[in-house]
């Protein structure tokens, strides 16, 4: 039995294609945009002894951007079914603390200036808001299931 002759095989292929393109859109596009921003600004890294090896320019911080996108999007989808206001506030606080710790770690490792982290946060916030907006638009167009 060949994989493309049954429904399960096509489902696996469709899922693999979906996951590939989801990853490409969610990680590939922001990474490409971030690379262009780094090349355009060309800002050097801080003149300290690095605790980790770095090879790219420093503005904006891709770790700050990716972390903000990941935590913000995760919280957005987790908070939706939450009923209690306390749970939502605790989730917002936990998300904010994780994002701030990530940015502080980049500064503590001497690989970014605070402005680099702020630039990464701004780029990640804009990217997240764009995708949340698009998700809400698409969700509103879908017919309600009974």
Show Cβ contacts of residue 111 under 8 Å, excluding neighbours closer than 6 positions. 45, 46, 50, 51, 52, 54, 58
Domain-located, residue 11: yes
Structure tokens at 59: 């503005």
Residue 76, exposed/middle/buried by CB under 10 A (0-12, 13-18, 19+)? middle
Give me the tens of pLDDT residue by residue for the chain, a chain 146 residues long: 455 556 666 677 777 776 666 666 666 666 666 665 665 566 666 666 656 666 666 677 888 888 888 888 888 887 776 677 887 788 888 888 988 998 998 888 877 888 889 988 998 899 889 888 988 888 777 676 65
The per-residue pLDDT for 140 is: 78
Check 112, 124, 127, 128 and give the catalytic one. 112
The per-residue pLDDT for 94 is: 87
Check 38, 60, 63, 68 and give the catalytic one. 63
Domain-located, residue 22: yes
The per-residue pLDDT for 38 is: 61
Are 98 and 71 spatial neighbours (Cβ–Cβ below 8 Å)? yes
Domain-located, residue 146: no
Domain-located, residue 62: yes
How many Å apart are CA 125 and CA 110, to the nearest integer? Answer: 23
The per-residue pLDDT for 43 is: 62
The per-residue pLDDT for 4 is: 54
Residue 121, exposed/middle/buried by CB under 10 A (0-12, 13-18, 19+)? buried
Domain-located, residue 98: yes
Domain-located, residue 48: yes
The domain containing residue 86 runs over which residues?
Answer: 3-141
The per-residue pLDDT for 1 is: 47
* Structural domain count, the chain: 1
Domain-located, residue 61: yes
Domain-located, residue 32: yes
Show Cβ contacts of residue 50 under 8 Å, excluding neighbours closer than 6 positions. 109, 110, 111
Residue 145 among the catalytic residues: no
Q: To the nearest 10°, the Cα dihedral for 17, 23, 26, 29? A: -90
């Amino acid at each position: 039995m060949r994989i493309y002759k049954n429904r399960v095989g096509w489902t696996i292929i469709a899922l693999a294609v979906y996951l590939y393109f989801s990853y490409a859109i969610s990680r590939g596009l922001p990474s490409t945009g971030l690379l262009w921003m780094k090349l355009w600004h060309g800002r050097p890294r801080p003149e300290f002894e690095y605790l980790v090896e770095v090879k790219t320019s420093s503005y904006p911080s891709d770790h700050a951007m990716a972390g903000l996108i990941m935590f913000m999007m995760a919280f957005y989808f987790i908070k939706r079914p939450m009923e209690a206001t306390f749970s939502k506030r605790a989730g917002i606080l936990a998300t904010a603390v994780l994002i701030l710790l990530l940015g502080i770690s980049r500064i503590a490792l001497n690989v970014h200036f605070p402005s680099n982290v702020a630039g990464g946060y701004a780029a990640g916030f804009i990217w997240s808001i764009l995708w949340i907006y698009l998700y809400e638009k698409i969700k509103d167009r879908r017919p309600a299931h009974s």
